[in-house]
Structure formats: C-alpha cells, structure tokens
A and B are shown apart, each in its own frame.
Chain A
Amino acid sequence: MTKERSPLDASEALGLLRTMWRIRLFEQRVGELKRADEVHGLIHLSVGQEAVAAGVCMQLRDDDAVYSGHRAHGHAIAKGAPLERVLAELMGRADGLCRGLGGSMHLVDVEHGFMGATGVVGGNVPMALGSALAARLAGADQVAVVFFGDGAVQTGHFAESVNLATLWALPVILVCENNGFAEFTPRSAHTKVERVSDLVAPYELTRETVDGNDVLAVRDTFGRFLDAARGGLGPFLLECLTYRLRGHYEGDPAEYREAIAAADWQEKDPILRLERRGVAEGWFGEEDAAAAGREAQQAVEEAVRFARESPYTDPSVVEELTYAT
C-alpha cells in the first residue's frame, strides 16, 4: 500500500461509535415499526453488522460512490443519509429520500454519494464499476465502493465484474459482508469455497479478510485500500466476516439456524467491543459512550416524529418520474 494510515484519534473513535449506535437503534426501531405496520415492504436489517458500514463509509467523501444491496440502511446512514429521510422513505412518505418511490431496498441519496441500493442480489456490483470508470474518464480521484453479501458472490454478475474490474484496474473497492448465510441457507450449502477472498485469487485482486465485527480492523484495512484507490489503483476486495443477529427479513422465524448465546454475542457485538476498547485505550470515557447511545436514541425518535408527520406522496409523482425530462 502507498502509505500508513494515520492513527485513530479520539474524535474518530467516538464518531465510529456514534454511527454504529445510530444504525443499531434505527434498525431496532424499524423492526418495531414494521411489526406495527408503519414501515412498508420487505425489511432486511443489518443488526450486528454495523461495524462494516461505519468502518467503510466514514472514510469516504460525499463524491465517492457507494452502492449497496437489499440490506442497505446501515450503509446509507453511515454515508451520511439523514435518519429522518431514510425513515420517511421506509414509511412511503413525500419527504423520504426517494419521495416514497423506492423504499427500504432502493434507498438512494445522491447528495451524499449513496448511489443506490438494489433489491436484485449481485446487480449492484457492475454498476459500481461503472461509477469507477466514469471517475477515470473524468480524470477525477473519486472511488467507488460496493457492499454485497456472500450470497451475491455466486451470481454471474459478480464473476463477470471481478474479471472486468481487474482487467481494467478500476478504482473500485468490493466490500463483501460474509455473514455466512445467503438468505436462509448456510454458505456451505451453496459453494465449496469458504472464503470469498480465495474465490478471486486467480485474478490477482488485492484482497484481505478481516473480522467484520471489529470496526477498527475494517477501518484500517479499508483505509489502506482507499488510499491506494484514491491514487488510481485498484480494484480491491475487503471480505468482512460478520454475523447477522436478525433473520433474513423482518418476520423471518430463522428456524434454519440456532440463536447465538447471549454471552457469545457480548463478545462479538461490534458496538460493545468498540466501547470496551475505546475506554481501555482512553479514546473516550464510559460516560461518552453512554451519551453516544442516548444521542442516537434521541435522533431516532426525532426521525420517527418527522416521518410520521410527513405527508404521503402525491400520486402525480408516479407518472411524472417514470421518465426523466
């Protein structure tokens, strides 16, 4: 890599913690609102996977393109999408990011470079390559990042895209959240290749597998890739081994796997881990950590109020936005 990352400082550590809390509490609230039928559509939560979103997105600029999949709330929030507009979108309201036309699986926030979630697994990967290609054609130093799960790796889109990205040496960073499950099925039932980083080995793609529940590991490795990509190198693959605490979607009874023991989760939880580490390192105190959670809770409740007050989208928008003018 081109240079060492600057060491983590207290404000960055606290920033990571705040972002993870915002994602965690937002999504837990969304789970409640889904059961109350206040948010609509298919809802896929990333509770337990927040470290990947925070460790990656908080290092990016607004003009760096991020693509995500069906489990996208965390990525959008970490990239800067306002909580209240994400929630209004999930509720199908006029003040939603996409005016209520997209929903949970199709969040877009161009202002913050969140170029879009997609509900079709694997389809986002080549689009991120396209944004990287556009940056190169424009002579810009923007980087494109795409999040996908280990399930997407078995799609043709992924195989074709890895070939193209390496062939063209595009400044794109592929971030795989390997939570071990493709929807309802363990990875072992879908492929003989346990690690995604092994799968791409013949392409000579710079790649690394990290503990995706360790936000600092994600932050450090992604940061090195980002510096190199910013300098025009690429592509890179960051495989984050993580754990999805909830089912595939809200309402999924998750009978295909055993629930993790509470004690084990205490060890794995990326938020608790950063809190312990941050206090031990002196990056922040216990009271700062508690305040981060409280502030996030307040922001989520303000978002709920905002979204509930937002009107439903005017029907004229449907026809108006089918074509661009």
Chain B
Amino acid sequence: MTQTTYLKQITAALFDAMRADERVFVIGEDVAEGGPYTATAGLVEEFGTERVINTPISEAAICGVAIGAAQSGRRPVLEIMFIDFISLALDQLVNQAAKAHFMSGGQLTVPLVLRTQGGAGQRGGAQHSQSLESWLTHIPGLKVVMPSRAADIHGLLASSIADPNPVVFVENKTLYFRREEVPENPEPVPIGRARTLRDGGDVTIVALSRLVGEALAAADRLAEEGVEAEVIDPRTLVPLDLEAVVGSVRRTNRLVVAHEAVEHGGFGAEIAAAVQAAAFDHLDAPIERVGAPFTPVPLSPTLEDAYLPGADEVYAAARATLR
C-alpha cells in the first residue's frame, strides 16, 4: 500500500493512458497549465501542446471538437472545469455524442471522456458547487462514472478512456487532496461494477461520490450502537450495478440512498424505484433518501454547512429504516 490522493491518481491515469495510446489527447480550458486543481499538471511537458490542448472559454465548441475528433479515430479526454459549466456543452453531449452511434445505425462511435468535477463545501456559491449527475443519467447513450476513492479512480478513468462510448467522469472537488491508502499497482475497475466497502446485515447504504465517506462514518456510529450497515459505492451510475444493490437489500431488508445532489429528481430516486421493483417483498421499511434541499447552494459558510448532507443525515436515515 502507498499513500496518495484522488487527484494524483487522476493525473497518473492520464499519463498512463497517453503513454499507452497515442490516440489519447487532453483538451480543455487551462489544461496545459494543469487546470485549477492541477489534475493535468505535467502532461504538457511530456506530451507537448499537440496532445495537451488549451482552449478558449468555449464549452459548446470544444465539446463538439472533441466529439468530431473521437468519431474520426482519436480518444479525447475533454475537461469541463466545473460541472456547472456543462450546461454550455449539453447540446453537443446530449444531441451529438450520446446519439451518434445510434443515429448512424452503428457506423459512428464516440470514444470520448468528459472529465468534470462537482460538489459543494468550498464556498463556491450556487454556480460552482452543483451536483448535476442526474441530468446526465437521463440520456441514453451516455455512461456516467462517479468515483469516490483514490483506490479506484485510476482504474475507472482507464476504463472510461478505453470505452467506445461517451463517458462523463464526474469527480468531486472536496475529495481531491485527501490522503488515502491505495494499492501499489492500481487495480483495473470495470465500468458498471459496484464496490461493497463495508459488510453488514442490518441496513444497506448506497452512497455516491463524497457521500461514500460520509456513509462509512455513519456506519461506524451505527456499529457502536450495534447496527451493522452495508455500504455500497456503485461507482458508475450508468450502467448501474443494480444486482449488487438488490442482492444486499435482500439480506438487510432496508435501504438508504445518499447523494449530495438535490434529493428532488436526484439519482437516488431511480435507485429507490429500481430496488422496490426488484425486491419489494424484501423491504421491511420504506426506502430512505438523503440529498440536498431543493434550493440553490448558498454561499455563506453557516448556510452552506447546513445545506450539505453528511454523515448525520445518513445516520438519521438509517435509523429511520430501523424504527
């Protein structure tokens, strides 16, 4: 085992992919300078500005450029600096990338990775803090990956780059700099495979991205009270490893779904609906959802802290399933 960070594993995965396959290139605003969080730092020194392409602030066009290059045989890794700005690229992503393979009767493929990051907690205000992944999960043709840990982000990014489909890779800015233990050699992680991070027989907690750590903290607290929670990180939302979730619920008979995105219309609703359809008879309590309130993210520290769902909310939700 070795100590590293979520962010350094992203950079390492980009280096590895670009060394292994000359078709891979990185494109986005400030990527040659490393970007605001240094995710692409050092790439330009090894691969040059031909393969590490800085762009103007033109999210719509650069997404289109990446799609055109992808369907012409290249493997672009496009960075959209904040997921909040993906709104500007959605026409390309939704109307072009997601549908090109389908609408062409299978002639075109778009092996594009769109890396972006979301999440609140850094006083970024309502336009730099959102969790918008559920928008993307609603679009057939896109895959949506949402890593929570340094240990598997390398493998997930490698699989995303190797995938023949457009993949939206949603990082979380508050996870970037945490020191974490990872195996010496990063393990391959297939897209569509969940990971059970803690075994337990009393309640299943499915958590996304930053909420995975919060769910593990809640599980520790529950364990002190004699309740064993099983914590599952789906890692990819589309395709979703529903089998792993349903298998767990069949044993625990209780489910909490937790994410930072606004609860209303969030991906937790999809998981809850899918689980009740597959395992209604196994549920001993209503499925509980944890998510942010139906408001924009506030700026003021006291307001933002109160807004953000965390371990307390996950704990309370788990408790609610046990009443």
Contacts and interface: CB of A to CB of B under 8 A. Distances in A.
Interface of A: 65, 67, 96-102, 106, 108-110, 115-116, 118-120, 123, 125-135, 137-138, 144, 156-157, 160-161, 163-164, 167, 317, 321-325
B61 A161 contact: yes
A130 B105 contact: no
Contact of A130 (B51, B58, B67, B103): B67
Contacts of B70: 130
B321 to A, nearest CB: 34
B164 interface: yes
A89 to B, nearest CB: 8
A120 B74 contact: no
A99 B68 contact: no
Contact of B101 (A119, A130, A321): A321
Contacts of A100: 105
A296 B164 CA distance: 40
Contacts of A128: 68
B72 A161 contact: no
B169 interface: no
Contacts of A65: 68, 72
Interface of B: 23, 25, 50-51, 55-56, 58, 60-74, 76, 91-92, 95-96, 99-110, 140-141, 143, 164-165
A164 B141 contact: no
Contacts of B103: 98, 101-102, 106, 108, 116
Contacts of A134: 68-69, 72-74
B63 A126 contact: yes
A99 B95 contact: no
Given A106-B103, A116-B108, A321-B105, A123 B95 contact: yes
A125 to B, nearest CB: 7
Which 6 residue pairs of A and B lie closest in terms of their CB atoms, listed nearest first? A130-B68, A126-B64, A160-B61, A99-B105, A127-B68, A134-B72
Contacts of A138: 73-74
A101 B73 contact: no
Nearest to A162: B61
A129 B104 contact: no
Contact of A131 (B56, B72, B109): B72
18 contacts: A108-B105, A110-B104, A120-B95, A123-B64, A123-B91, A126-B61, A129-B65, A131-B68, A131-B69, A132-B68, A157-B60, A164-B55, A164-B61, A317-B105, A321-B105, A322-B141, A323-B101, A324-B109
A123 B92 CA distance: 7
Nearest to B97: A127
